[in-house]
Structures are given as C-alpha cells and as structure tokens.
Amino acid sequence: MAPSSALRSHAPDAARPALRANDATSKTLPRGRAAPHGGAALTRLPRGRGGRAAGVGPLVQTEAMGDLSAPAAPARRFPPEPESAARARRFVRAALDGAAPDLVDTAELLAGELVTNAVLHARTGIEVSAGIVGGRVRVRVGDHRPSRAPVPRDCSPHAATGRGLALVDRLASRHGVETGEDTKTVWFELWPDGAPPPSAWEAPAPSRASEATVTLVDVPGALYSGAQHHRNALLRELALAAAGGEDLGVPPADLATAHDVSDVIGACVAAALRDGHAEGEMRSLPLGLPPDAAPAVETLSRVLDAAEEAAREERLLTLPALPRSRVFHTWLFDQITGQLAGAHPTAWTVVPREPGSGPAEMVSWDADHVQAGRVPTIAADERNRIIAVNGPAADLVGWHADDLVGRPLTTLIPEHLRRRHLAAFTSLLLSGRPRILGRSVPLPALHRDGRLVPVRLFLQTRQTADGRTVFVAQLSPRAAAPAPSPHRPGRRAAVQEQAAREQSAREQAPPPAAVPEGAAGPRAEAALPALERLSLLARTGTALGNAANLDEGLLRVGGVLTERLADWCAVDLFTEDARVERACVVHREPGGLRLEEFEGTLPPLSDTSRGPLARALSGAGPLLLTAPSRPGRPPSPLDAHYRELLGGLRAHSAVVAPLRARQGIIGALTVARTDPGHPFTEEDLPLVDDLVRALALGVDNARLYQETRNIAERLQRSLLPVLPEVRHLQLTARYAASSTTAQVGGDWYDGFLLPSGDTALVIGDVTGHNLDAAIAMSQLRSMLRGIAVDRQEPPETVLRRLDAANHSLYREATATCVYGLLKGPEEGPWDLVHSSAGHLPPLLTTADGRTRFLEGGSGVLLGLDPDLPRPRATDAVPAGATVLLYTDGLIERRDESLDDAMERLGRRAAALAREPLDVFCDELMIGLGADSDDDIAILAVRPSAPS
C-alpha cells in the first residue's frame, strides 16, 4: 500500500477535522489531512459558572448542569474508533438544530476534540449527549474509564497535540468533569450572552497511595515541552494507523500500555511543575510514579522507537524527532527505570551527547541571544526562513541584518549548492538523521555582491520556550581561526557544565588537611586562608592556559572566581582600535538572567568618565566598592553602563582592578558579591591584585598567540594562487584550515600555464602546523614555479631540482608533492604526465562514475635524498573526466585505515561524477572535510572537448 493510501486508511476524510482541530490556526497541515471546518467556532465565547477542574472524584455538583426538570438531551453511544469523532460531530450538529450557528460550530468542534481524547486515552465505549436549555448549548462526553482523568497541557501555539482540553477551556463558557465508580464525563456549556465567571482546568494530582519518587535533575523546560509534544503526536498517529488496520509491528496491548504510561508521566510532570518552586528554565522535578512502572516505561520506549521508524518511512502523519529530542527521551526513560531499580539520579546537564544532539542548553533559545553575540550567527526555522541574524553575520555576507530576516536561507547559499541544501534540509526533517549537525563543515557562503565567501559552518538545533525547533548556524571565516567560540549557542552552557562537573568531583574528594574546617564554603571567612589563595591563583592560571581560545579561557576563569571568591565577575578588555569590550560576564547562579545583554562593545572611555570602571581602565586600583552609587546622572555613558551592570546583577559590594601587561593597561576585572552578610573588604584587595596580575599575563599571551596565528594564516592565504582560465579546461580549488587545531599548516595547491601550452597542476603538504611550515610552503611553491616555467622539463626532473634547491636552504623542509602536466590539444585527447614525492595518488573519475587512483610515478618525500631517481607516469584523461589532487586532511582519520579512507573518497567522487566542478569540490569538502584535524587543499581539473 502506498504511503498516502495507508495514511487515509486510518482516518477517513470526515474524521480528520476532529483529529486535527489543533491545526485550525495558520499552521500548515501535514500531507494527506484536511483542515478542520467551522473556523468561526474559534471565536471565544463567555464563560459560565460551575466548571471545576478535572481531577479525581466528583468535581461538579448536580446543580452545575442547570434545571433538572429540563427535558433529557439526545444521547448516542459510539465505539472507541477514530471514525467516532466525525460521527459525534455530525450527531451534535443535528441535535443542536435551531441553536445559534456560532454555538453549533463551536460545540461540534469541542465535541470532536473530547471524543478524540476518549478514543485515544480511554479506549472504551463513548456516550455523547447534546441539547439546548434556555438558549444555552450543553454537551456531555462520557467514557467508562474514570481512573484516567483528563490531563490538561500547557500547549504552545505550535504544539501538534494536546489541544483538546485547551480548546474547551478557551471556547466554552464553563466546563467540568464528573466521575463515578465506572464512568467519567467531561461536559461544557456555551452561552450566547451574559458574563459567566471564569473557570479553568487543573492538572489532576497523582494518587499518593502507593508511589515511588523519581527525581529528574536539571530538566530543560523548553526541551521537555518539545519532546512531550512530539511523543504525544507519535502515539496519536500510531493509534490512528492501528485503528485503520495498518500493521506497524506494535501489538495493541503494547500501544495501550504506552499511551497509559505516557499520560501518567505527563500528569506527574504537570503536578511537579505546579507544586515546584524552582526558578529559571532548568528544574529538578520529583515525580511520584507507581513502583512497578518500569516495564511499562520500557514498553513506551520500544513503541516510540517503532513509531520513529514508521515516521521516517512516511507511514505516519508526523515527522521523526531530531537527535536532541531522541537523546532526551532516552535519558528520561533511563532515569525512571533506573531509579525505580535503586539507581541514583543523573542530571541531564552531565549526560554525554551523541553527534548532532548539541550540548545541554541552560536557557531556551531567543532571538536576543543571536543579536547580542559577537560571532557571526544566523538562525532559521523549520520552514527554512531566516528568523534572526546578528551584525557580524550580516557584515560577512554584505547584508543589513534587518534585510535578511524573513528571507529564505537559500539567499546565502551559492546557486550550485541550493539543490543540495534543500535536499539535505528536507532529509533531516523527514528522517531525523543529521549529516552536519554539531560538526564544523567548510563550505562557501554567497555574498550579496555575488562572490563566494569561504566559511566554516557549525550548525546546531535549539529549542524555543514554546517547544519549536530552531536551527542556529555559526559562520567562521576560513581565513580566521575556526575554533569553537564560547558564544556559539550552548558553548557558555558547555563551559559552565564542565566547571560544574569539576566542582562536583572536588566536593566528593576529601579536603586537604591544611584547610581548617568551616573554610570550605565560598565566603566562610572575610579573607581566604593562604592555601586557598594559592589554590585560587593556580587554578585561575590553569583555566586560562588550558583553554582552546581566549574567550573560552575567560569563561573558565569566571567559573573559578565565582566558585570561591565572588557571586559574579566581568572582564572588560581594550580592543586593537582602543574601544572597550566586555568579553564575558559569569554568574554563579544565573537563573533567568540574560548575561549576554551586559556583554559586547561598551561606550568609549572619555575625559568625562569618572566612575570606578573608567578609573580602573586608566590604571587605578584595585578599587573597593561598598556603597551604592550616588543618585543623579552619571558623568559619561561608560559610567552609566557600569552602574547598570552593578544594579542589574544586584551587586552589594565589588572590587574592580586594572589588567596590566607590557607596561600598559589592557582591561579590567570586576568581582562582586550580592550577599550583604559577606561583603568584600580591604583584606581582599591584595588577593584580587594577585589575580589580575596572573589574568593579565594570560590574556596578553593568548592575544600574542592569536596574532601570530592570524599572521600566518593571512600569509598562507595570500600565497594561494588565482587559477588560470583555459578554454578547454575547468579548474577549481578549495582550501580550509583545520577545524580543531585552528593552526596553520603547509598545505598548498597551484595551477599555471607553461610557455609550451601545457597546464601545470601542483598539490603539496609541508610537514608541520606552524609558522615555519607556512614559510617553507611559500618557499617551495615559489621555487617550483620558477623551476617549472624556466626549464619546462618533465615532472620527475622538476621535482628532483626542487628537492636539490630545498636542501640548499638554511633549514630544509620535509614535504610531499605531486607535480603534473595536463597535455593535449584543445579538442583532445589529453594525458596527465605526473610524478609524486610521497604524496597521495591523484584520483581519476570518469563521467560515468568509474574511479581509479593514479598510483604510478610515486617516489620518496622531498627533503630526504635529492640524488634518488624519481619515476614518472602517464595516464589518459577522457573528456568529461575529473582529475582530483588532494592533501591528506580530506580523507585521513585516526580511527580509519588509509585504504578505507581512499575507498570512501572514491565512492563519494563517483556519486558526484556528473555534477558541475564547483559542486563536485564543495560536496567533497562538506561530506569528507567536516571536523578534519588537518588542513585541506584540493585541486580538480576537468577537460571538455569544444562543442
């Protein structure tokens, strides 16, 4: 059966509106389902009295339903089948003949929602009654499962399921639930006039008779909401498919168990959220679950796995989950089953992630996070539309940030990669399997003026507070260091997460004997003991020295300082153009604080600046701040900004000190405490002074290292040539620095025309990843060009002369190289005459997808023995075939043999044989170059006969 017909088989057209009423707004419906009718019913009607909340036990008094002497409303029984929702809607419309049209539309909609709930969750016979009393509509929907009380959910506008009770709460004048020994009835009334008092659902409290407590530690609210909505959608669609007779490999008993335990988990989480007092978006929730729930939870996990597989095969009307949601559900179910078996809780924030799932997020995504960031960042929604972009990203691609918002993401993708992007994006949504999520991928971005901008892309998924998925991409220009930045979405959380694990390990270890009891707290004494001071200084230096880059190091230093010395700290640094930039703000317990709002470029330091920060940036300090600033207008914008920082983070006392390096001021450090009972005192100033000395030295060293690295990268990029234009040849090259080490290597490529008319092709790799390697590469490249153009000799002779010249240098280099000549007239045929100095063999890919490595002509490396003979090889190159020269960074991986890596390259090239050469090269970089810990250079040539 085709997917479309299979989908229709378990939800007839008449039934679909009732089962998709939650999509009555502007949300696009999945394929194969019709939109609900009766749009006018979404007009909110006044509420009435009497509807108490859903719960356990009799919740509504008899008089809530009005005059008992009124004639009995028409009633009808329905089986627990999906078609019953549509039948109930038609019955309600017929029973309410004569009522106001808007009341009938609303009653029909709500009755269908309640019957759908009964079909999915009660799975018993259903009784529906509807009538008119005094112009007011009254509808009752009953089932025979009183133990399964309704569980209202906090549904976002984008939720796919769980809107039935929310719609009743929003549209009904009043509503409630009656429960008896063997029945449960949900009712609602619609009033055409009057102003009834409001009523609202309440989540039912789980039974306390016999339960075990399971504690979920550090639950991210946004991620839980999104995962719950998706879980409910999968179970609902699975039930509809089963009701339609489709076999998805899930026994009916398992499906019923999965529905029940999912409802129990949802009710327990709702109760914990209602009773909890945790602030912020990360919560620890105690759940009261049945002690024997573990087998049911394991069944739920298996059923969801089957549903995910069916969704990937497009047999269900819902998309599969993205990686992070799957990882979260695995953690959730493991926590429940493990703790019921006696295991200890494991926090979500310390669970290892699988590739593409992303790090633990401490806060839900917000557009402000992107706009406040300093690293080029773009966010897109599930429709592939740009929803947020910051200034650095807009500048990188030549746009204004506001002009990009609302445009399709393909605006920034080169035309030759757009089809690939759309296919990959669609595949991700339909399969839930990522290819580049959580990986650093080299590819080109499209500038507004039409040129290509080489970047590295790091893509992650984030969750909004209402459960939507957002795709956040960070762009790093390949000429700059592409190491992960702490301002990448989630990077701050990952650094703090690591610090929390380190702190936990220290707390579990026995304290040093020399530390007196009572000094273990962060501020147990006015000044830290001598051993604690030395430890703090040592850890500060280590945190900065061991970080991958300066920004990450400053965040780690902030974690150390807020653990032992302060409640929060801030680091301000001078930039190259004498501006002041707040590099980071770290808080021990950020809660709902948006620390990014305090970061970024500060107002300039002017002659009118008189505040504490301005004085520290001028060299004064350490300065002790123990009293609130005087009221009145600050002398300068910088002073006002600093006052906002102290007030916004509720500082009671603080110390601000200058960072001095090489006889100059490079910035300032602020440490602050919020507890009036433990303020900073004069005794703390010497310690802060020692800390800023160590911090300034580390910052200065990191900047010097970064400057050296950037100089080398600019040098290396300046030496990459512009390829010649040859009428009968296509020539394309790509280069990308390492994604992990962010160091400069000796990879290079070259292509030029010889006076003889032959086209020279060169690829090479100098040993090393430093400035020496870049310098040696430039020398070898220049010498090879000179020898090749002057002598016009065979490739093996040119390499031999190059090796001899290399040995004549003061410091000769060890390198690999392939030098080839593409010979032949414009109309063909063509031959590649080549010689290799220890380099990987070129790859020949014909137009029909056959591949062959050109292994002839292989000799020893450059720099070993210039007197050794060098071989030569000649290979025919058919029209439309592609010759690829590449460095080892494209294919070599530590966990893979070289033979397997070359075979993988051959398969990839064969699949791209008929693609344009730009696509061929970019796809190789995207598919094989992601996360490479080495530089990558590739050079491709494709001859074509004139048409």
Q: pLDDT (tens digit, 9 = 90+) per residue, 423-436? A: 777 777 776 666 67
Look at residue 517 in the predicted model and tell me its pLDDT.
33
- Would you list the domain boundaries of the chain? 3-190, 213-238+270-350, 367-477, 523-708, 720-943
Lowest mean pLDDT among 22-26, 395-399, 448-452: 22-26
Cis-peptide, bond into residue 489, ω within 30° of zero = no
Mean pLDDT of the chain: 77
Say yes or no to pLDDT of 10 above 50. Answer: no
Q: Which CATH superfamily, name and number, covers 720-943?
A: PPM-type phosphatase domain (3.60.40.10)
- Edge-first strand order for the sheet with 377-380 is 386-389, 377-380, 469-477, 452-463, 440-446
CB 877 within 8 A of CB 832: yes
Q: Is 523-708 the same fold as 367-477?
A: yes
pTM as predicted: 0.55
How many residues belong to the chain?
Answer: 947
Pairing relationship of beta strands 830-837 and 858-859 according to DSSP bridges? parallel
> Which runs of E-coded beta strand occur in 182-337?
184-190, 212-220, 282-289
Neighbours of 540 (CB within 10 A): 24
Q: Please list the alpha-helical segments (H only) found in 96-136.
A: 101-117
Look at residue 4 in the predicted model and tell me its pLDDT.
32
Q: Please report which confidence band the pLDDT of residue 887 belongs to, taking 50, 70 and 90 as the band edges.
A: very high
Distance CA 581, CA 686 (A): 26
- The token duo for 743 is 């160091």
Q: Kindly report, residue by residue over 603-656, the tens digit of the pLDDT.
A: 888 888 888 999 999 888 889 998 666 666 667 888 888 988 888 888 989 999
Look at residue 242 in the predicted model and tell me its pLDDT.
83
Q: Please report which confidence band the pLDDT of residue 230 belongs to, taking 50, 70 and 90 as the band edges.
A: confident
Of the candidates 603, 595, 663, the one whose C-alpha atom is nearest the C-alpha of residue 637 is: 603
Q: Please report which confidence band the pLDDT of residue 858 belongs to, taking 50, 70 and 90 as the band edges.
A: very high
Q: Please report which confidence band the pLDDT of residue 161 belongs to, taking 50, 70 and 90 as the band edges.
A: low
| Mean per-residue pLDDT, 278-284 | 59
| Mean per-residue pLDDT, 821-829 | 90
Look at residue 303 in the predicted model and tell me its pLDDT.
92
Q: Identify the CATH number of the domain defined by range 3-190.
A: 3.30.565.10
DSSP SS3 for 162: coil
Q: Which CATH superfamily, name and number, covers 523-708?
A: GAF domain (3.30.450.40)
Say yes or no to pLDDT of 19 above 50. Answer: no
Look at residue 879 in the predicted model and tell me its pLDDT.
92
| Mean per-residue pLDDT, 511-538 | 52
Look at residue 473 in the predicted model and tell me its pLDDT.
86
Look at residue 563 in the predicted model and tell me its pLDDT.
84
Say yes or no to pLDDT of 257 above 80. Answer: yes
Lowest mean pLDDT among 24-33, 132-141, 909-918: 24-33
- The token duo for 284 is 């620890």
Distance CA 933, CA 939 (A): 19
In order of 297, 414, 767, 779, 819, the CA distances from 764 in angstroms are: 57, 28, 10, 12, 9
456 CB-near residues (< 8 Å, 6+ apart) = 440, 441, 442, 443, 475, 476, 478, 482, 736, 739
Q: Kindly state the helix (H) or strand (E) to which residue 191 belongs, with its residue range.
A: none
Distance CA 238, CA 244 (A): 10
Name the burial class of residue 756, with classes exposed (0-12), middle (13-18) and buried (19+) by CB atoms within 10 angstroms of its CB.
exposed
Of the candidates 49, 53, 83, 89, the one whose C-alpha atom is nearest the C-alpha of residue 66 is: 49
| Mean per-residue pLDDT, 566-586 | 89
DSSP SS3 for 873: strand
| Mean per-residue pLDDT, 397-404 | 89
Say yes or no to pLDDT of 58 above 70. Answer: no
Q: Kindly report, residue by residue over 837-851, the tens digit of the pLDDT.
A: 999 999 999 999 999
Say yes or no to pLDDT of 358 above 70. Answer: no
815 CB-near residues (< 8 Å, 6+ apart) = 746, 764, 765, 766, 767, 776, 777, 780, 806, 837, 861, 862, 863
CATH class (in words) of the domain with range 367-477: alpha beta
Say yes or no to pLDDT of 910 above 80. Answer: yes
Lowest mean pLDDT among 21-25, 193-197, 289-293: 21-25
Q: Kindly report, residue by residue over 861-882, the tens digit of the pLDDT.
A: 998 888 888 999 999 999 999 9
Q: Please report which confidence band the pLDDT of residue 478 belongs to, taking 50, 70 and 90 as the band edges.
A: low
**191 versus 628: which is more confidently predicted?**
191
Lowest mean pLDDT among 88-102, 122-136, 619-633, 917-931: 619-633
Look at residue 243 in the predicted model and tell me its pLDDT.
79
Distance CA 85, CA 90 (A): 9
Look at residue 671 in the predicted model and tell me its pLDDT.
93
Percent of the chain at pLDDT exceeding 70: 76
